[in-house]
Amino acid sequence: MASSRSSRSPKLGRAGAQRLLWRAGTGPGKGDLRHFGSMTVDGAVDQLLHPKKKRLTGPAPSGAFLVGGNFAPADEWGHLHLLMLDRMVRSTDPLGERMTLVLHDWFGVSQSGSDVQHMPAHIALLRNGWRGSFRKLLKRITVDPSMLMFLGGTSNRMGAPNENYARELMELFTLGADRGAYSESDVRELARCLTGWRNDWGQNAGAYNFRFDPAFHDAGKKELFKGRSWKVSGRLGWEDAVDAVVDHPMHATFVAEKLWSYFIPTPPSPPTVQELARTYRRSGEHLLPVVRAILRHRRLHDGDSMVIPPAVWAAGLLKARGRGIDTEAWTWRLADAGQMLGQPPSVAGWDDEAWLSTSAYSARWGIAIQAAGVAPLKAADYDGMRETPSEAIDRAIAFWGNPEIAPPHRKALSRVAAHKWPGHGPLDKYGSEAAFNATRQNTLRQVLVAAPDFQVC
């Protein structure tokens, strides 16, 4: 790709590593800025794509909200969210967790419209499948219990087709709306192809025994994309339906543009779209080489900033602190910020344009306070100590693992640090100066990460 970087590209540097790790992972952990900053773009991207070991590190979840010391996503509200957030914080495969979130948004299955007991397996399917064939992954998602429940797949039968999944399969998952890729006739015909899936119900078991039943399948002749050179006809089944949309000539460009949008905020040029689409087809419809090309692209490294999703931002703050999931407050904190994992607001996923609304941004302050507030400094911590405004800022930055701070951000912090707040007078036996220094440091820690500059990468 003409505008991508070469293998002889310069070192990323700390600022470049910080942007890459926020966009292609869940933020930098301890030592990550130094480690990735010493690499070239290609070297850093390849390490993210192919981690040496995939495991969980750091503090394990703790707290009375756990069930027998573990999450219970099938039984406890919010535990699927916490389970996903825990992996985002502790996994040594940060890109894998980020791609899990990408696909969770792409397919938009919510536990509020599905049988919650199947949702952990659905998320695992996304996590384990993104590095392989998208065609194969899409076939597995099509008949995955959570998706069958969510979009009415098991109520789609001969003589009474349910068009929900057929419509979303083309509109949201493979071809895109308003591109002239399909017609209402194609939705109806595709729904007929997808008939035949059933499940049983039990009072205690919920939905179970998901299976294809030929007696409920419309075995008649169907015709997809009538009048087009790529039309498909015959006694088509559900796998034929998936193959038809993946083979559609407009599918590859849809994938290219959709994947790009998760990593770069401005649209790709037409030549870039075509090159990414060719990469996708040549690989046998694999996402990994397309992701690699996007992460190496100059527009990611030198282009406009992008808002960090709330769950990614919270996970990054916890990573920076070396802190695990030790409170269930991360459920409602992130719900207030607009991103409850396991529960996208619609099949179209989350609306990232709403993530910095007045209410959502206010919720990010709460997240910053929650992440920083395990052991806030007290006046006793400053007994006999003095700290200049500049030293106070350096200490606050070190608290968060020494992230790169842009000069305008540092200048704004300097104004906060130099300000003598009225009425800060004696707060306890250690005296006003110690109390003021502690209050200032706690404030700087929160302001540093809650400030607008820290919401984007």
Residue with tokens 């990010």: 364
Distance (Å, rounded) from C-alpha 229 to C-alpha 453?
50
Render each residue's pLDDT in the chain as its tens digit; 457 residues: 445 454 456 799 999 999 999 999 999 999 999 999 999 999 999 999 999 999 999 999 999 999 999 999 999 999 999 999 999 999 999 999 999 999 999 999 999 877 789 999 999 999 999 999 999 999 999 999 999 999 999 999 999 999 999 999 999 999 999 999 999 999 999 999 999 999 999 887 889 999 999 999 999 999 999 999 999 999 999 999 999 999 999 999 999 999 999 999 999 999 999 999 999 999 999 999 999 999 999 999 999 999 999 999 999 999 999 999 999 999 999 999 999 999 999 999 999 989 999 999 999 999 999 999 877 898 889 877 888 999 999 999 999 999 999 999 999 999 999 987 655 444 444 456 888 889 899 999 999 999 999 999 9
Q: What pLDDT, on the 0 to 100 scale, is given for residue 422?
A: 55
Nearest to 26 by CA among 53, 1, 56, 3: 56
Q: Which residues pair with 307 in a beta bridge?
A: 456
Q: What pLDDT, on the 0 to 100 scale, is given for residue 205?
A: 81
228 class by beta-carbon count within 10 Å (0-12 exposed, 13-18 middle, 19+ buried): middle
CB atoms within 10 A of CB 145: 23
The string of DSSP codes covering 153-196 is: GGG-BTTB---HHHHHIIIIIIS-TTSSS--HHHHHHHHHHT--
Separation of CA 395 from chain center: 30
Separation of CA 58 from chain center: 21
Strands (E), 241-356: none
From residue 39, alpha-carbon distances to 10, 288, 418 in Å are: 8, 20, 37
Q: Distance between the two ends of the chain, CA-based, in angstroms?
A: 24
Tokens matching residue 192: 């007929």
Q: What pLDDT, on the 0 to 100 scale, is given for residue 373?
A: 82
What 3-state DSSP class applies to 307? Answer: strand
Q: What pLDDT, on the 0 to 100 scale, is given for residue 423?
A: 52
Distance (Å, rounded) from C-alpha 25 to C-alpha 93?
8
Separation of CA 262 from chain center: 9
Domain boundaries, the chain: 93-302, 375-457
Classify 180 in phi/psi space as left (phi over 0), alpha (psi -120 to 50) or beta.
Answer: left
- pTM for this entry: 0.95
From residue 282, alpha-carbon distances to 133, 239, 244 in Å are: 12, 21, 18
Q: What pLDDT, on the 0 to 100 scale, is given for residue 446?
A: 95
